[in-house]
Amino acid sequence: MMATMQKSSSFFLAHVRENQKLRLLGASALVLVFLLMYGVNWPATPLWLSMAAFGVVLPFSFIYRAIERSSLPPEQQHRQALRVAFAQASLDILFIALLIHFSGGYDSPVALLYLILLGSVSVFFHLRQIILLNLWAMGVYTALMQAYIQGWLAPVYLPSQAQDTLGLDFASLIWIIYLIAMSANWLVIAPHAIRIRAAWNEADQQKNYLDQLLGLTRLGLERGDLPNLYQTLADEIRAILDADAVYLTRWEEDNAQVHQGASSHRYGPARPALAPLGKHEVSLTTSALRAGKPLLVRDVTCSPYLSQTAAQRFSETSFLAVPLYGLPERRYLGALLIGSHAPHEFSPEEIERAQQVANVAALLISRMSLFHETQYRAGLLEQMAGQITLLTSDLRRTTLLPSIVESARTLLDAQRAALHLYDPLSKKMDCRYSVGLSEDYLKFMAEHFEASPEAATFQEQKFVLIPDVGRDERTSPLRGIIAREQFRAYAVFALEAENNRLGTLSLYWDEPHAISSIDVAVGQLFARRAAAMLQSANLYEQATAESLTDALTGLPNRRYLDRRLSEECERANRSGRPFALLMIDLDGFKSINDTFGHAIGDSVIQQVGAALKQSIRSTDMVARYGGDEFAVIVPETDRESAIRLAEKLKSVLASTKLHLPRDTQRYISASIGIALCPPDSDDPQRLFELADQRMFRAKRQVPGTIVFDGN
């Protein structure tokens, strides 16, 4: 309202100044007429009238200028300027009467100035003021003419008028004619003046409205965060539309929920934000989304556009809900809700202005949202680049798989994660590394992989999102094991490399979690990079397998073990002298990895390898089979000697003090399986399988167990 009055005052004063220029031009014309009539020897009366003409105009010009430059509030400036203009018009009517008297009285044509004056100033005043001015003009002119008719006053003629042109007998007729002319002039001018003033006010209001929209845009561009922007928009829109209350709601497309962005109320401060409505609740925001156009609600308590639960959140009765569509591609952002305490019928003009304001607000919100999304995306990509840089520094699967899982979990703020790789030989999906998941769950998932969402991801889709496992039908076959595991949401990303799907990367959250489209894009990008690194790791393993030495321990590797095992079987078959194969698996090695990290785990593997190598004969061979498993070939030995060596190795490991961080002291035990050639088998592959099976039997028993037969 203040801005409107300020604009009206400026507009009014500008038009008054233009009218003053016309008055000054008229006064100058009067001086020119007298100069032509009298020459340089003016009588006192014409000279006095000429000075009075300027005396009426000039002081008022200074008064208007003073009002415009004053520090008064805009509404007071407008009222004072209107009063001064009315007073000036009243004086003009008196001055015209003087001009009539000194230019021939009832014979003077100057009376036409009444018509011109009343027509030119009528646009400035309200209807009541126009009526008063016309009555004042008619009264002054009537008094002057009656003075002539009654003989109280005689008109003064200009030098060019030799005598009374029409005579006093015509004074009454002239008076009546001019009164009729002034009345007709008023009847004609009044409607036009009203329409002109209405158009003037409408244009002034439209200009003020556009200025307010410009101010809204400027304020919105100055805000640096979304909550501040929403509140600023709510406050400014309520002022622009002169509404009782304004609500700005946010629509989250990822989980289809409605949140309150901000609210502004005519009475009292802004109320606290309300909790988001559930998906099953019908709200004005969801109804505006379905309709795609503004919705009118006369009474919220009985409207199909919102449920009773949603209606109880408002203290207002009537609402206008305008959908907010932003960028890119007219993305639905929420709704602008304009509330009225009393039942209200929104006019087409109100709806149009609300739509215009909503369009501006949607553009500002889109700009801010895109800015924050860009910042968030840049931060995620930067973090992902750092994670990938760390991953590419070591392509060994023993360190790469845990690093991929931990990096993905950290990147998307998940509490648990698992990496499944597909084995083309067994045609099964095996979990190669996990964090926060039980062995029972992993075993169950391996056995029921085809019924899990991971299967759909691996076979058909690039990713699967399950924001709430309790409400998603895809998890129905797994509800029991999921309930025991107690996670509430998860996402699965396919690991693809060169059109070859290697497996899946799964992330789990302990609470319902609606992963955003930005997180999905980053998750997919990370999965593609992880798959490429796994592919590189496979190539690295193939290259390593072609070498005969384990890169970590310096011991012979599996390839060399297979070769040596074949050679010893052939030698035993020729000579008849048996040899023993010991398969060793470290107990508790996983806890060391989990506690101290994989770098310390690698150090432990090196320490164990060195201890085993120092404990055997020069004719014996110890090899690192893989992970925390070792193999020892003992030529020309029987079962008792092999058992004694196994006991010795177990004692050596049990007495080997591991070098761990934070001055931690720990010893390690080993489970050992023994197979002999030829008593058990003379086939290298079968001999290895027997030793390996006995080692796993030993591992399932008490740590440090040695198994040497099939019992």
Same domain, 120 and 155: yes
pLDDT exceeds cutoff 50 at 615: yes
Residue 570 clears pLDDT 50, i.e. is over it: yes
Whether 10 is in a domain gets the answer yes
> 185: phi > 0 → left, psi -120 to 50 → alpha, else beta; which?
alpha
d(CA 44, CA 622): 138
pTM, rounded to two decimals: 0.49
Q: What does the angle CA 7 – CA 8 – CA 9 come to, to the nearest 5 degrees?
A: 90
Least confident of 61-70, 196-205, 601-610: 196-205
Interval 399-455: pLDDT, tens: 778 888 888 888 888 899 988 888 777 777 788 888 888 888 888 887 777 767 666
310 and 365 inside one domain: yes
Domain closes at, from 488, 515, 545: 545
615 and 509, same domain (yes or no): no
Among 374, 404, 424, where does a domain finish? 374
Helices (H), 42-126: 44-69, 74-101, 112-121
Are 337 and 399 part of one and the same domain? no
- List b or e across 238-247, with b for residues whose CB sees 16 or more CB atoms inside 10 angstroms: bbbbebbbbb
Final residue of a domain: which of 497, 520, 545? Answer: 545
- Distance of CA 460 to CAs 271, 420, 496, 497, Å? 48, 16, 12, 15
Could you tell me if 242 and 114 lie in one domain?
Answer: no
Residue 116 has a pLDDT of: 78
Please indicate, yes or no, whether residues 264 and 139 belong to a single structural domain of this protein.
Answer: no
Distance of CA 79 to the CA centre of its chain: 46
439: in domain = yes
* Same domain, yes or no: 312 and 418: no
In a domain, 381, yes or no: no
Q: Are 320 and 238 in contact (CB under 8 A)?
A: no
* Residue 190 lies in domain: 2-207
Residues 427 and 524 in one domain: yes
Residue 158 lies in a domain: yes
pLDDT for 22-43, tens place per residue? Answer: 666 665 655 655 555 555 555 5
Q: Do β-strands 500-509 and 416-423 pair in parallel, antiparallel, or remain unpaired?
A: antiparallel
How many CB atoms are located within 10 Å of the residue 433 CB?
A: 18
User: Domain containing 497 — which CATH number?
Assistant: 3.30.450.40
Q: Is pLDDT above 50 for 677?
A: yes
Higher pLDDT, residue 351 or 375:
351
Residue 553 forms part of a structural domain: no
Nearest alpha-carbon partner for 386 in 367, 407, 359 = 407
216 band by pLDDT with thresholds 50, 70 and 90: confident
Whichever domain contains 609, its CATH number is 3.30.70.270
Q: How far is CA 265 from CA 2, 248, 268, 269, 314, in A?
A: 18, 12, 6, 7, 12
Total number of residues shown for the chain: 711
Same domain, yes or no, for 600 and 696?
Answer: yes
Grade residue 2 by pLDDT with cuts at 50, 70 and 90: very low
Residue 79 within any structural domain of the chain: yes
Same-domain status, 370 and 419: no
Q: State whether 365 and 416 are in the same domain.
A: no
On whether both 354 and 416 belong to a single domain, the answer is no
pLDDT in tens, 228-261: 888 888 888 998 888 999 999 888 876 677 888 8
pLDDT, tens digit, for every residue of 477-504?
A: 777 888 888 888 888 888 887 767 788 8
Cα(692)–Cα(702) distance, integer angstroms? 17
Q: Which two tokens stand for residue 247?
A: 């609500």
Q: What's the confidence (pLDDT) of residue 7? A: 42
Q: Report pLDDT for 476.
A: 75
Residue 385 within a domain: no
